[in-house]
């Protein structure tokens, strides 16, 4: 989430405090206005400036540029407004930056008045503390509120310091350190603030949130803060969606954005961040920063390790990227040019579209990819739940396969060959059959001749040492081919062994057989 | 020789014509002379095999058959198929249209495919209860391109993939039953409905499908009958899809669908005014007023079953007043059925043939006499557990319902010998259930025996006063009995069994818990009742080895036997299991004299034929796993008690 997101959230966060005037803080119009201004300031931000300097300069710009009347409104920050806003910014960009760089007494004056205002806020806060002490409140509440107040105090003090620092141009560079300090304070505060209790405290929180935002946005510390998370959540989602939507049909007017085109080598370079000392390359800046720690203590400071603030907050032209491959739709020379949004998009696009697919899936050995991440995604699903059509197409999902089958005449799902069931022919069958071959089928079971009975008994007894093979029904199966010879002596028995069924009478109950022949 | 000269005048086509007129007595015809035999053989259209040993020869003789039914000897295996197809001309396959392979669990996909590919005209296949069948077998079935009718009931392994194979290839399918194919989901049904547009009958009972499937099914324009028993995931939303779809729907069966309510049924009914059959048992707690109002519009309704629903007199009256063409009414276990309600109902439905009032305990003589008066066509009446049914009721039935064929009086304690005498006026009785009617004796049975010669099924379960004399009368009067239940009629002795042995057509005999019968009686039955297929001897503890010997040698048609708690030795058990080549189902629990080894040998001897065995749970660890696996692999299911 970039600073835009958090900024846009701020009016939401603050709007309830507008109506509620319970706390002395929120009823202070000055402080309110100040935050409103800060809210807008990012649009004028100059990348070369440190954040605190900018926030100090905001009031100035505000007053000096009445044409930007819509910006101080705290609730103006929806997307529609934003874009023209930014465009406006770009037009006046050069003049503004130059004005900021100059040593301007009016700027100083402005800053001083801002300082004054902040000091007033401080006073109010202290008043508040004093008043609270007067009223006998439960201890817990008091301590909680004191914590809130102190956090507010710190944020105001930080603003004071930063604004004061901006009075001297030379101080700016050192401010990075203070900002990291602020970061720490911020972190502390983030953990100590409880969720809103009571009307007054919630007001303070709201206020507090707005104030904190200044530091937050300026520092780009990604330290999660309770309120921040909560309140920006919705906004974040919304924004995310916007981005996705924009991915395909982003209707940026030609010329409303800056087109960058990286060279092929640049795109394919494995590393983008290089150590200035030893030259080692890294894919991520964070890794580089971690690496830098080994080069000396000066790289171990929190400031050095902190994520450098992005330039995205600056009022610049939107950046869009062009693919260096001539003729590609993503190439800026193309008639229907569709720009790529980020560098990552460029990289993935270029690899996927214009490079060899060098990564082969080790499982199926057929699917190839040019982007490692794609391979990994594929490998997660490769092999399992493969839904196969008779035409050879495979699907990861069953419903997709069925959709395919429904669509194409004659296509049927293929049954994978590996899971052979072999219900009919178990392996035991053969071995048994062999063992049975030794035995002759001399045992005429089933002959209804009572004289046989005795003989059969004797047979059984005689072979009782190996009754298994003797009785095995497989005798019959083994000799099936020759069952013409496997005769029962009596004609009538063979007649009785089948029955004739009248059409439609399938029930086993009604099977007539010719017993009467016996 | 005189006869020969007469027959010389008859040419073959004349003989064929005569034979066509003959009806069911083809067996006698065959025995007249060789010429008759030959004519019969070539004109025979259907054949049901009892013994696989003679399959090849039979198929050679009857080369023009259209239906081959192997359901009574499901021992067919892949090897058998290859022999069948390789030997001889195999000309019987040319015209074969219908193949019944129910319970042929030993047949694998390879054999099945061979068989089906050999029969180019095949239109109907039944592989129900082949529980081991899966997608491969379904793929084999899909080789029958002309298939119009397929029964896949309880092919447990068939998934959407298998169904898709069939659906894509067999686009002309008209009747399909997928009952208990538990792996099939909405996806499969959806594809089926996209590919098989000619479906007229579809059974998806007990499938784990949702209302989405009904959305697909609603698109079937030719569907006439839809069966959906026990689909607990389908709700009213699904039935609402049917309201707009399936314009030809005539029968719908939604019993035991827990999530279906009155409103769902209303939507189906309001969409199909021509509905003829509605089965909604055990899915509603009561009929709501709007639903009853809807029923009024079903003028063509012929069959309605609303088992287990709370009804009121008003509802029954509404049905009676509006559904004039009602032929069958099922009110089994309905709460709130009164004499008044039934009287109002039947006075409107004069065409009623089948009436099920099982467990409607408040039915008494008033209702029964109205039924007897208004429904002269009544064929089947079920009054199980209707305690208030007395001799007067049967008097009315005997007087008016001369067409009555089936009557269930199980557990009607008011039935006595006099009642049976009245009932015996229904001379067309075919099935009679008198289980738990403890007041009937040999005298009552004699009345029935003398006057109901058509009786084929008789249930005398726990009619403890029935003795040998009753059986003597029964066997002299009801010669055509095929099913007889004498369980726990303890007065029966070997003499009674001797009478039973005169029943030539007897196929099912239950003798459970008869403590006075011995091997002598069983031997008499075994020797004479050649068709005996199902025998229950549980707890007949006086029968010893010689009785089972007799069964092993004489009862060659035995398919099911229950010999739990019997006294049988290892060797005789082995002999029995090995010798009874048609035995499919054996219950062998608690055989005190049988050792584990003996049981194992016995199971081995029947391996390949036997399809179902019930054994003691404690034996599970004692029997060798190799043997159990073999049994399983050859399509035998073991139930552990």
Percent of chain B with pLDDT over 90: 77
Greater model confidence, B197 or B30: B197
Minimal CA separation from A410 to chain B, in Å? 6
Average pLDDT (B466-487) is 95
Question: pLDDT at position B155, please?
Answer: 95
* pLDDT at position B541: 93
Q: Residues of A with CB below 8 A from B27's CB?
A: 500, 512, 514
Q: Which residue has the tokens 């707690």?
A: B285
Residue B316, pLDDT above cutoff 80: yes
The residue that leads in pLDDT, B203 or A163, is B203
* Alpha-helical runs (H) found in A65-138: 79-101, 105-134
- Kindly report the nearest CA distance between residue A360 and chain B, in angstroms: 30
**Mean pLDDT throughout B629-635?**
89
| Confidence band for B130, pLDDT divided at 50, 70 and 90 | very high
Q: Which of A498, A505, A515, A516 to mutate to test the interface with B (most CBs of B within 10 A)?
A: A498
Is the pLDDT at A183 greater than 50? The verdict is: no
- Min Cα distance B148 → chain A (Å) is 16
Residue of B nearest to A419 (CA): B136
Whole-number pLDDT of residue B549: 95
| Contact state of A500 with B44 under an 8 Å Cβ cutoff | yes
Closest CB from A412, A477, A497 relative to B169? A412
In which band, very low, low, confident or very high, does the pLDDT at B499 lie, cut at 50, 70 and 90?
very high
**pLDDT by residue (tens digit) across B427-448?**
999 999 999 999 999 999 999 9
The string of pLDDT tens digits covering residues B202-214 is 999 999 999 999 9
pLDDT reported for residue A324: 87
Mean pLDDT score of chain B = 92
B132 touches chain A (CB under 8 A): yes
Q: Which residues of A touch B46 (CB under 8 A)?
A: 500-503
Average pLDDT over residues B448-460: 96
pLDDT on residue B272? 92
Contacts of A339 (CB under 8 A, 6+ apart): A250, A252, A257, A259, A320, A321, A322, A330, A332
Say yes or no to pLDDT of B47 above 50. yes
List, for residues A88-146, the tens digit of each pLDDT value. 444 444 444 444 445 567 777 887 787 788 778 778 777 776 766 555 555 666 666 67
Please give the pLDDT value at position A140: 61
Q: How confident is the model at residue B29 (pLDDT cuts 50, 70, 90)?
A: confident
Instruction: Work out the number of other CB atoms within 10 angstroms of the CB of residue A381.
Output: 12
Range with top average pLDDT, A264-273, B342-351, B449-458: B449-458
State the first-to-last Cα distance of chain B, in angstroms, to the nearest integer.
Answer: 63
A406, A501, A515 ranked by CB distance to B531: nearest: A515
| Chain A residues near residue B139 by CB distance under 8 angstroms | 415
Q: Using 50, 70 and 90 to split pLDDT, how confident is the model at A169?
A: low
- DSSP state, B158? -
Give the span between the Cα atoms of B46 and B48, in whole angstroms. Answer: 7
Number of neighbouring beta carbons within 10 Å of residue B346: 24
Q: What percent of chain A is modeled with pLDDT above 90?
A: 2
pLDDT at position A32 is 42
Average pLDDT on B295-305 reads 91
pLDDT confidence bin for A171, thresholds 50/70/90? very low
CA distances from B482 to A479, A518, B560 (A): 35, 19, 15
DSSP A344-356: HHHHHHHHHHHS-
Instruction: Measure the CA–CA gap between B122 and B142, rounded to whole angstroms.
Output: 11
Read off the tokens for A248: 């395909």
Please say if the pLDDT value at position B56 is more than 90.
no
Q: Counting every residue, how long is chain B? A: 641
- Torsion over CA: A24, A25, A26, A27 (sign): positive
Higher-scoring residue by pLDDT: A266, A68: A266
Residues in chain A, how many? 518
Contacts of B53 in chain A (CB under 8 A): 476, 483, 486, 488, 497
Does the pLDDT of residue B144 top 70, yes or no?
yes
Between residues A305 and A41, the one the model is more confident about: A305
**Is residue B520 within 8 Å of B545, Cβ to Cβ?**
no
What percent of chain B has a predicted confidence (pLDDT) above 70? 99
- For B71-107, write each residue's pLDDT tens digit: 888 788 888 888 888 877 778 888 899 999 998 888 8
Instruction: State the average pLDDT over residues A75-86.
Output: 40
> How far apart (Å, rounded) are the C-alpha atoms in residues A426 and A362?
34
pLDDT at A287: 87
How many whole angstroms separate alpha carbon B225 and alpha carbon B246?
10
DSSP B266-327: HHHHHH-TT--EEE-TTT-SB--HHHHHHHTT-TT--EEE-TT-B--HHHHHHHHHH-TT--
Residues of A in contact with B194 (CB under 8 A): 406
The alpha-carbon gap from A382 to the nearest alpha carbon of chain B, in Å, equals 20
When pLDDT is cut at 50, 70 and 90, the band that residue A29 belongs to is: very low
CA distance B488 to chain A (A): 23
The pLDDT value given to residue A132: 60
In terms of Cβ atoms closer than 10 Å to its own Cβ (0-12, 13-18, 19+), residue B450 is: middle
Note which residues in 167-186 of chain B have CB less than 8 A from chain A: 168-169
Residue of A nearest to B22 (CA): A502
The rounded distance, in Å, linking the Cα atoms of B234 and B215 is 11
């Amino acid at each position: 989430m970039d600073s835009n997101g958090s900024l846009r959230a701020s009016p939401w966060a603050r709007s309830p405090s507008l109506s509620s005037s319970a706390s002395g803080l929120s009823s202070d119009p000055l402080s309110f206005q100040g935050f409103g201004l800060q809210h807008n300031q990012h649009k004028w931000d100059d990348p070369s400036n440190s954040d605190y300097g900018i926030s100090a300069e905001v009031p100035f710009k505000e007053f000096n540029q009445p044409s930007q009347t819509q910006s101080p409104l705290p609730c103006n920050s929806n997307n529609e407004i934003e874009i023209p806003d930014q465009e406006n910014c770009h037009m006046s960009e050069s003049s503004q930056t130059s004005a900021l760089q100059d040593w301007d007494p009016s700027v100083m004056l402005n800053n001083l008045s801002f300082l004054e205002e902040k000091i007033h806020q401080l006073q109010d806060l202290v008043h508040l503390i004093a008043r609270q002490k007067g009223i006998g409140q439960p201890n817990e509440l008091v301590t909680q509120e004191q914590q809130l107040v102190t956090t507010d105090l710190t944020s105001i003090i930080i603003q004071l310091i930063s604004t004061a620092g901006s009075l001297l141009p030379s101080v700016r560079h050192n401010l990075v350190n203070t900002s990291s300090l602020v970061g720490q304070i911020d972190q502390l505060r983030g953990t100590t603030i409880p969720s809103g209790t009571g009307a007054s405290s919630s007001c303070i929180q709201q206020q507090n949130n707005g104030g904190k935002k200044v530091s937050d946005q300026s520092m780009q510390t990604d330290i999660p803060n309770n309120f921040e998370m909560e309140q920006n959540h919705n906004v974040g989602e919304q924004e995310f969606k916007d981005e996705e939507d924009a991915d395909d049909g982003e209707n940026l007017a030609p010329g409303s954005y800056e087109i960058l085109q990286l060279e092929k080598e640049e795109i394919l370079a494995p590393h983008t961040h290089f150590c200035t000392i030893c030259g080692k390359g890294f894919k991520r800046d964070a890794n580089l920063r971690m690496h830098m720690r080994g080069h000396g203590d000066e790289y171990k400071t929190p400031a050095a390790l902190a994520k450098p603030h992005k330039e995205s907050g600056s009022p610049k032209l939107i950046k869009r990227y062009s693919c260096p491959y001539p003729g590609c739709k993503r190439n800026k020379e193309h008639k229907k040019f569709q720009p790529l949004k980020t560098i990552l998009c460029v990289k993935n696009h270029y690899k996927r579209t214009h490079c060899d697919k060098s990564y082969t899936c080790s499982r199926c050995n057929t699917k190839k990819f040019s982007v490692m991440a794609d391979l990994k995604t594929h490998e997660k699903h490769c092999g399992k739940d493969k839904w196969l059509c008779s035409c050879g197409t495979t699907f990861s999902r069953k419903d997709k396969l069925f959709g395919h089958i429904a669509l194409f005449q004659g296509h049927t799902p293929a049954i994978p060959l590996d899971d052979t069931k072999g219900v009919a022919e178990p392996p035991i069958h053969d071995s048994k059959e062999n063992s049975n071959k030794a035995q002759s089928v001399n045992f005429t079971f089933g002959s209804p001749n009572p004289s046989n009975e005795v003989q059969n008994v004797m047979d059984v007894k005689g072979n009782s040492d190996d009754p298994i093979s003797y009785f095995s029904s497989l005798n019959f199966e083994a000799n099936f081919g020759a069952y013409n010879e496997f005769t029962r002596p009596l004609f009538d028995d063979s007649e009785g062994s089948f029955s004739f069924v009248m059409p439609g009478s399938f029930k086993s109950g009604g099977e007539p057989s010719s017993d009467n022949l016996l | 020789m005189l006869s020969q000269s007469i027959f010389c005048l008859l040419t073959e086509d004349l003989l064929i014509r005569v034979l066509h007129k003959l009806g069911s007595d083809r067996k006698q015809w065959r025995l007249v002379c060789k010429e008759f035999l030959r004519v019969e053989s070539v004109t025979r259209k259907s054949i049901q095999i009892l013994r696989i040993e003679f399959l090849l020869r039979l198929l050679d003789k009857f080369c023009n058959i259209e239906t081959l039914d192997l359901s009574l000897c499901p021992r067919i295996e892949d090897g058998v198929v290859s022999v069948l197809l390789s030997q001889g001309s195999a000309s019987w396959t040319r015209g074969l249209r219908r193949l019944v392979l129910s319970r042929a669990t030993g047949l694998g996909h390879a054999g099945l495919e061979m068989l089906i590919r050999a029969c180019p005209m095949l239109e109907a296949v039944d592989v129900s209860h082949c529980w081991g069948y899966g997608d491969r077998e379904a793929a084999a079935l899909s080789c029958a391109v002309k298939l119009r009718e397929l029964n896949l009931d309880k092919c447990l392994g068939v998934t959407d993939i298998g169904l898709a194979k069939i659906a894509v290839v067999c686009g002309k399918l008209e009747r399909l039953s997928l009952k208990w194919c538990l792996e099939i989901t909405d996806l499969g049904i959806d594809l089926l409905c996209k590919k098989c547009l000619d479906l007229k009958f579809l059974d998806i009972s007990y499938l784990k499908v949702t209302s989405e499937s009904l959305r697909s099914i609603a698109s079937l324009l030719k569907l006439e009958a839809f069966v959906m028993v026990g689909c607990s995931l389908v709700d009213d939303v699904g039935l609402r899809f049917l309201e707009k779809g399936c314009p030809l729907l005539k029968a719908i069966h939604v019993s035991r669908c827990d999530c279906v309510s009155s409103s769902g049924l209303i939507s189906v009914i309001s969409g199909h005014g021509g509905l003829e059959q509605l089965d909604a048992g055990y899915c509603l707690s009561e009929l709501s007023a709007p639903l009853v109002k809807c029923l009024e519009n079903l003028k063509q309704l012929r069959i309605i079953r609303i088992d287990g629903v709370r009804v009121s007199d008003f509802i029954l009256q509404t049905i009676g007043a509006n559904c004039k063409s009602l032929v069958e009414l099922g009110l089994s276990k309905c709460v709130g059925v009164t004499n008044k309600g039934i009287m109002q109902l039947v006075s409107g439905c004069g065409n009623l043939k089948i009436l099920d009032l099982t467990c409607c305990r408040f039915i008494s003589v008033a209702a029964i006499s109205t039924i007897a008066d208004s429904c002269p066509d009544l064929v089947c009446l079920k009054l199980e557990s209707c305690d208030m049914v007395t001799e007067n009721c049967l008097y009315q039935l005997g007087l008016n319902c001369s067409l009555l064929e089936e009557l269930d009086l199980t557990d009607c304690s008011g039935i006595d010998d006099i009642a049976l005498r009245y009932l015996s006026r229904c001379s067309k009785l075919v099935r009679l259930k008198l289980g738990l009617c403890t007041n009937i004796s040999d005298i009552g049975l004699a009345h029935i025996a003398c006057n109901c010669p058509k009786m084929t099924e008789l249930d005398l379960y726990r009619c403890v006063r029935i003795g040998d004399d009753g059986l003597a009368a029964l066997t002299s009067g009801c010669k055509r009995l095929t099913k007889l239940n004498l369980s726990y009629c303890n007065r029966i002795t070997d003499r009674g069994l001797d009478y039973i042995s005169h029943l030539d057509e007897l196929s099912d005999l239950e003798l459970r818990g008869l403590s006075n019968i011995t091997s002598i009686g069983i031997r008499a039955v075994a020797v004479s009742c050649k068709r005996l297929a199902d025998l229950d001897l549980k707890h007949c503890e006086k029968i010893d080895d010689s009785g089972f010997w007799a069964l092993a040698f004489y009862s060659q048609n035995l398919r099911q036997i229950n010999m739990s708690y019997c006294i049988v030795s290892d060797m005789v058990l082995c002999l029995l299991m090995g010798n009874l080549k048609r035995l499919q189902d054996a219950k062998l629990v608690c055989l005190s004299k049988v050792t584990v080894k003996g049981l194992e040998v016995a199971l081995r001897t029947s391996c390949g034929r036997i399809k179902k065995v019930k054994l003691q749970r404690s034996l599970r660890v004692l029997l060798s796993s190799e043997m159990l696996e073999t049994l399983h692999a050859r399509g035998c299911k073991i139930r552990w008690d």
